[in-house]
Amino acid sequence: MKNEYLKHQMGELSGGCSALSWSTEDGLHFWGRNFDFSRLAQGTGVTFVPRGTQYYTCGTSMENNLDENSRCTAAYAAAGTGFTLLPSTPVLYEGINEKGLMGGQLYYRGFAQYANRAKHGLQPLQPPFVVYHLLAQCASVDEAVSMLTDRFFLADVPMLGTVPPLHWSFSDRTGETIVVEPDRQGLSIYRQTIGVMTNSPGYDWHRLNLLNYAGIRDLDYSNVEIDGDRQEQCFSGSGAQGLPGDWSSPSRFIRLAMLKQYAAKARGEQEGVSRMLRLFESAAFPLGMVRVSEQGHITEYDKDVSPYDYTVYTSVMCSETLRFYWTTYENSRVQYIDLSQLMRRGKPFQVDMGRLPDFKNAAQ
């Protein structure tokens, strides 16, 4: 029964989602994401994994298929959202490490393809382990790129019966954000991106699609005059007319790209996190607006399965301070953990995401 549950856990890695990197006027760097799906798997929580943790990049002890040559020891502590139900390797959906490298995985349905045979001189890396492995071993996006191109290949190896279709985004204290996409052309790593990623199609397509919205601006149009008939503007926001408002991947990419271009920058960490969470609201799925036609495999362990995809949680992390912030759909109060304070711990542990509504009585 546990294997059946964990098989479904791998399916949980296949949600929707939007990712964004951002910075403040005083030089802080952030990366964050919306996690869009119809549920959050049991066992998922905000997870800390210490440096020195031993793990494997291919195979699981539960399936008795561990590749012993893929054994690694974590050079860096990391924290993010994920689970530790697999004894051999932690799984993180997104996170940050002690050097300030941040990033996560998003669904890449219909496009993701991985190597189905070994590559000479390279070690296998299963897609669900990419986030944790890079955070455990790399201090920067440069090191992450080198890891993926020179030392490892993404292996088409099922985990408990499934291989989730994924692509990834990572950022660091330099402000550079990379996008990593495995498809029919092989492994594409985009450097110096605009710092936005959603779902399929790939980053190159989304970037080219920005040309369809080149006229969008932040400045209102003042009036309309046709054949001598002049009308003064009676509402604001006219400069953004034509901005798509649905929840498809292309539309979310355009909205976040325009927000990154025009949204007012903050000063300081708290203001930066607060404003970035507001940006993510523009791409968030309201419960009830995205009814899915295929729920995937549902087990007896799944609770509160919704017929809709929605933004289950939003996370934001700061490369300089090593704080990991999050809100949930039910609870908009900003919660956080501080990785720099957790690194003295020697064992992995999890924090409940606190999804119950949390209201403050301001009169007390």
Q: Is residue 211 part of a domain?
A: no
Choice between 162 and 137, residue whose per-residue pLDDT is larger: 137
pTM as predicted: 0.94
Interatomic CA distance for residues 50 and 322, integer angstroms: 14
Q: What's residue 293's pLDDT? A: 81
**Which amino acid type is present at position 145?**
V
Residue 1 binned pLDDT confidence (cut-offs 50, 70, 90): very low
* Structural domain span for residue 341: 2-200+267-351
pLDDT of residue 63: 87
Give me the residue label for tokens 């440096």. 51
Q: In the structure, what pLDDT confidence band is assigned to residue 5 with cuts at 50, 70 and 90?
A: very low
For residue 217, tell me if it sits in a domain: no
In a domain, 257, yes or no: no
Tokens of 181: 């996409």
Q: Does 91 have pLDDT greater than 80?
A: yes
Q: How far apart are CA 295 and CA 362, in angstroms?
A: 41
| CA–CA distances in Å: residue 274 to residues 187, 217, 235, 335 | 35, 23, 27, 11
* pLDDT of 4 over the 90 cut: no
Is 220 part of any domain?
Answer: no
The predicted structure's pLDDT at residue 312: 96
Is 343 part of a structural domain of the chain?
yes
240 part of a folded domain: no
Report the chain's mean pLDDT, rounded to a whole number: 93
- 71 beta partners: 56
- For residue 20, tell me if it sits in a domain: yes
> For residue 218, what pLDDT is reported?
96
Indicate the range of 170-179, 270-279, 293-302 predicted with least confidence.
293-302
Query: Does residue 12 carry a pLDDT above 60?
Result: no
Does a structural domain hold residue 237?
no
Instruction: Report d(CA 309, CA 170) in Å as an integer.
Output: 24
152 within 8 A of 187, measured Cβ to Cβ: no
- pLDDT over 90 for what percent of the chain? 83
Active site members: 17
Model confidence over 194-214: pLDDT tens digits?
A: 999 999 999 999 999 999 999
Report how many domains make up the chain.
Answer: 1
What burial class does residue 63 get, using C-beta atoms within 10 Å of its C-beta: 0-12 exposed, 13-18 middle, 19+ buried?
A: middle
300 — pLDDT class (breaks 50, 70, 90): low
List the single range of 120-129, 291-300, 351-360 with lowest mean pLDDT: 291-300
Q: pLDDT at residue 225 above 50?
A: yes
Question: CATH code at 84?
Answer: 3.60.60.10
